[in-house]
Amino acid sequence: MSECQDHYPAWFSKDLIRLLKEKYTWHLKFKKFKNPLDKSTFNLLKNLCSKLQNICYKSYNLQKLALPCTSFTGLSAPVYWVEIRNRVDKTTSVNNQVYNTVVQYANCYIQISA
């Protein structure tokens, strides 16, 4: 972990950290000058940060579920799906993100076996 990420959660990306710092800068500008354009820029950055935080958090949680594609080399289809189900069952919340991950694994398996 780099020195600048020490006081941020592990799931924060470098882009998110940069965006948060920029948002903070625009917030200070708005507070100091009371310019409505600064406020609109700050609000835009705030919305972008919120969306990027959600994306980073979901991505971080899905990495815990992920297995490298190479670990499926040589597995038959039934064994492959047993491995996937075991991984999915261990997660606390099964939602669309997990479904998307399973679909990605399926595509990976198809590419390896082809």
Question: Hey, where are the domains in the chain?
Answer: 1-65, 67-114
Over the stretch 52-101, which tens digit does the pLDDT of each residue have? 998 888 888 777 666 555 555 566 666 766 766 666 655 544 445 555 55
Q: What is the mean pLDDT of the chain?
A: 75
Confidence band of 104 (pLDDT split at 50, 70, 90)? low
Least Cα distance to 77 among 114, 42, 37, 25 occurs for 114
Using CA atoms, how far apart are residues 78 and 33, in angstroms rounded to an integer? 64
